[in-house]
Chains A and B, each alone.
Chain A
Amino acid sequence: MSYLFYFLPEIFILSVLSFVIVLDLFLKESKKNISYYILQISLIIVFLYLFSLLFQKNISNYELYDISNFTNLFKIFTVLLSIIIFYYSYSYLQRFKIYKSEYFIILIFGLLGMMIMVSANHLLILYLGIELLSLSLYTIIAYNRTSVRSSEAAVKYYILGAMSSGFLLFGISLLYGITGSLLYDEISSVIESMNFNNQDFSTHSIGLIFSLIFILISIAFKFGAAPFHMWIPDVYEGSLTPTTLMISTLPKVAIFVILIKLTSSIFASLEIYWSEMILILAVISVLIGNIIAISQTNIKRMLAYSTIANVGFILLGIYTGPENGYEAALFYTITYTLFTAAVFGLISEINIGDSSLEKIDDLGGLNQKFPLMAVMILIVMLSMIGIPPMLGFYAKFYVIQSLVLSGSTVLAIFAVIMTVIGSFYYLRVIKVIYFDDENTSISPSLYHLISYVFVLTLFLLGIFPNLLSTIISFAIGNL
């Protein structure tokens, strides 16, 4: 019974969810938003509970489920960002009169999936968590049923996602066959006892490399690293803007956490193999993401390719290894997630006539009418380029620094050049906002205090980057 304590946040969320599912049936059409408020309040309660856990010594002797401070910090971040995402989604859905309580119910299921997969210390539970997340994402992408694009994106993501889940399962079953266990700790101690070297071609080593490749491909697919990135632009473009806001932020952090958990436990003794694979993924991602993004005219598609480039940067951080690379990569992931959340949040608040913002050119002359909105987009874009006082600069700086420290100077130069190329498409957005002719049909809903607070916080975090990096080294230290 005492084990139930470890799942308290998950059990609480699931209970509230079950309650809301039933309650929603009895609510009148005009009062359906009560479900949203209940879910939002439950998230705040979970956030406070998780925050209080941070100051206690939690030594879990339950091997299946990890509640260390590292995962706890991740959960705090996820829940906090979920609250913001929910806020933006709610305002968007109300504005376009497509509100359904199911949207938030399904999002909460995805949140639950992420909490489970990050806490999992067991490959089966990891798989089930990933499936829970993926299933909720498929549905949420197809939510906008009237749009053909949305259905197409959902089907595409569903088929590719099912295939990558199959890859993951295949890799897991091979690993189970070779080591006879599904627990991270047991697997890593079995692999460690096998004593690998580069010239080893025994049955075990080939089987392990095989399973490593399959698991890595599956993770790269979910992460959106090139050459497994094909679904990203279509999904970003096809789904509603708040859905894109969700897809581009939280699952990325979750998958990143899985990646560093797996590489630092199960595959720790196979580093010679996975570091090369991750390097290839990283270089292709940075290259493809930055270069294709230049020619995009749709802002969501452009940000999709910029996501791929950012994923490449994160992978470069992981490539440099556990000592200083993981910290840099985590810093980059958190920064990327926060700023992507900000930019998609701002985009979701801008109407062009009766529809939401799609084209970059539609932002024309935003500054003349709504200077405050323009300044916020300016801050976010400058940070994504990596201009010094912003947080994005430190993120890129740490990754490049860890590359230099690990001796791969060529890669560091490559990263810098790619950053310069990448700055083109971010600067174009700024140019359209400040120097182009005014687009008269543009009408942002400016009364959202949360955007101001959010962007201001991000700006202040950039001025005091030590705040974030202290938390991150604390998190990595508790991995």
Chain B
Amino acid sequence: MNIEIYVFYFFSVLLLFSAANVVLSNNAVKSAIHLVFSFFFSAVLWLILNAEFLSVILILVYVGAVMVLFLFVVMMLDVNITALKEGFVKYFSSGLAVFLSMAILLIFFFQRDFDESDKNILVEINVISDDNTENLGYVLYTEYLLAFEIAAVILLLGIISAITLTHRKSSVTKYQNPSEQIDVKKEERIKILSDEDLK
């Protein structure tokens, strides 16, 4: 039981450190790598909570797919990090005010001793077995089937939106039309200028 606490604190500190580095780092690639680390550490925290499915998904989806895409984008775009940080001093005070008020409220909320009636703060979902993945799969296709289907509709909309916004005949695109190329007349290829035209 005790070792869990130590593991929690160890990875929490690492998580906070890497999350801070995401924001503070001057190099976009470094920020992205630190984001990978923070995903990894929060996956460990989920593992402590017996939510092994979520932690595996976090690593597979975010680290494996999203962050790789992110790194590609960072490599392809030449992000000027100094320009991004220009407003830092200007917005620091308002950011600090928001941060402090949130922090105080959260501390106020979590500092209290949770008594017996607060038990439902952690809801256990041991529906059919102790296995978290099995339980999730079970409720996903029974109790939350409707939500699951709606999520599928959202994905369908996402695909259609992306195609609508990007795939269109643009006037900038240059392409060849063979029949027009063959039909061309000599007058269209060469225009003979007289002396008057040159003046």
What is the interface of chain A, defined by CB distance below 8 A to chain B? 7, 14, 21, 64-65, 100, 102, 105-106, 109, 112, 116, 122, 124-125, 128-129, 131-132, 135-136, 138-139, 142-143, 145, 176-180, 202-204, 206-207, 210
- Contact stretch, chosen from B11-19, B36-44, B74-82, B118-126: B118-126
Partner of B147, one of A125, A138, A180, A206: A125
Verify if B48 is at the interface (C-beta below 8 Å from A): no
Q: What chain A residues lie within 8 Å of B165 (beta carbons)?
A: 139, 142-143, 145
CB atoms of B120 and A180 under 8 A apart: yes
Across the A-B interface, the 10 shortest Cβ-Cβ residue pairs:
A180-B120, A139-B161, A102-B164, A128-B150, A203-B112, A109-B157, A180-B123, A124-B147, A206-B109, A177-B121
Q: What chain B residues lie within 8 Å of A131 (beta carbons)?
A: 154
Q: What chain B residues lie within 8 Å of A65 (beta carbons)?
A: 146
Assembly CA distance A100 to B158 (angstroms):
17
| Residue ID in chain B nearest A203 by CB atoms | B112
Partner of B146, one of A125, A135, A139, A177: A125
Other than A125-B146, A132-B154, give 18 A-B pairs with Cβ distance below 8 A.
Answer: A102-B164, A105-B160, A106-B160, A109-B153, A109-B160, A125-B150, A132-B150, A135-B157, A135-B158, A136-B157, A136-B161, A142-B165, A145-B168, A176-B123, A180-B120, A204-B118, A206-B105, A206-B108
Assembly CA distance A355 to B185 (angstroms):
38
Verify if B73 is at the interface (C-beta below 8 Å from A): no
For this complex, 6 residue pairs linking A to B, each with C-beta atoms less than 8 Å apart, are A125-B146, A128-B150, A132-B154, A139-B157, A142-B165, A178-B120
A102-B146 contact in complex given A177-B121, A210-B105, A210-B109, C-beta closer than 8 Å = no
Main secondary structure of the interface of A (DSSP, over half): helix
Assembly CA distance A331 to B121 (angstroms):
40
Assembly CA distance A206 to B110 (angstroms):
10
CB atoms of B153 and A124 under 8 A apart: no
Verify if B144 is at the interface (C-beta below 8 Å from A): yes
Verify if B23 is at the interface (C-beta below 8 Å from A): no
Assembly CA distance A202 to B160 (angstroms):
48
What is the interface of chain B, defined by CB distance below 8 A to chain A? 105, 108-109, 112, 114, 118, 120-123, 144, 146-147, 150-151, 153-154, 157-158, 160-161, 163-165, 168
Assembly CA distance A124 to B140 (angstroms):
12
Assembly CA distance A477 to B114 (angstroms):
40
Assembly CA distance A124 to B149 (angstroms):
12
CB atoms of B161 and A106 under 8 A apart: yes
Q: What chain A residues lie within 8 Å of B153 (beta carbons)?
A: 14, 109, 112, 132
A135-B161 contact in complex given A14-B153, A206-B109, C-beta closer than 8 Å = yes
CB atoms of B144 and A124 under 8 A apart: yes
Q: What chain A residues lie within 8 Å of B157 (beta carbons)?
A: 106, 109, 132, 135-136, 139
CB atoms of A128 and B147 under 8 A apart: yes
> How far apart are B124's CB and chain A's nearest CB, in angstroms?
10
CB atoms of A135 and B147 under 8 A apart: no
| Residue ID in chain A nearest B166 by CB atoms | A145
> How far apart are B167's CB and chain A's nearest CB, in angstroms?
10
| Residue ID in chain A nearest B163 by CB atoms | A102
Q: What chain A residues lie within 8 Å of B168 (beta carbons)?
A: 145
CB atoms of A139 and B150 under 8 A apart: no
| Residue ID in chain B nearest A202 by CB atoms | B112
Main secondary structure of the interface of B (DSSP, over half): helix
Assembly CA distance A72 to B196 (angstroms):
79
Q: What chain A residues lie within 8 Å of B144 (beta carbons)?
A: 124
| Residue ID in chain B nearest A179 by CB atoms | B120
CB atoms of A129 and B150 under 8 A apart: yes
| Residue ID in chain B nearest A105 by CB atoms | B160
CB atoms of B161 and A64 under 8 A apart: no
Assembly CA distance A124 to B153 (angstroms):
15
Partner of A21, one of B114, B151, B158, B160: B160
| Residue ID in chain B nearest A100 by CB atoms | B164
Q: What chain B residues lie within 8 Å of A180 (beta carbons)?
A: 120-121, 123
Q: What chain A residues lie within 8 Å of B120 (beta carbons)?
A: 178-180
Assembly CA distance A124 to B105 (angstroms):
25
Assembly CA distance A89 to B27 (angstroms):
47
Assembly CA distance A180 to B118 (angstroms):
10
> How far apart are B156's CB and chain A's nearest CB, in angstroms?
8
Assembly CA distance A204 to B114 (angstroms):
10
Q: What chain A residues lie within 8 Å of B121 (beta carbons)?
A: 177-178, 180
Assembly CA distance A179 to B158 (angstroms):
33
Assembly CA distance A327 to B125 (angstroms):
41
| Residue ID in chain A nearest B122 by CB atoms | A177
Assembly CA distance A145 to B123 (angstroms):
47
Q: What chain A residues lie within 8 Å of B151 (beta carbons)?
A: 128
A203-B154 contact in complex given A138-B161, A179-B120, C-beta closer than 8 Å = no
Q: What chain B residues lie within 8 Å of A143 (beta carbons)?
A: 164-165
Assembly CA distance A207 to B106 (angstroms):
9
Assembly CA distance A207 to B109 (angstroms):
7
A135-B112 contact in complex given A21-B160, A203-B118, C-beta closer than 8 Å = no
Assembly CA distance A65 to B146 (angstroms):
9
> How far apart are A463's CB and chain B's nearest CB, in angstroms?
42
Interface centre among B153, B158, B163 (most CB of A within 10 A): B153
Q: What chain A residues lie within 8 Å of B108 (beta carbons)?
A: 206
Assembly CA distance A416 to B118 (angstroms):
48
> How far apart are A388's CB and chain B's nearest CB, in angstroms?
44
| Residue ID in chain B nearest A204 by CB atoms | B118
Q: What chain A residues lie within 8 Å of B114 (beta carbons)?
A: 203
Assembly CA distance A109 to B156 (angstroms):
10
| Residue ID in chain B nearest A122 by CB atoms | B147
Q: What chain A residues lie within 8 Å of B123 (beta carbons)?
A: 176, 180
Q: What chain B residues lie within 8 Å of A139 (beta carbons)?
A: 157, 160-161, 164-165
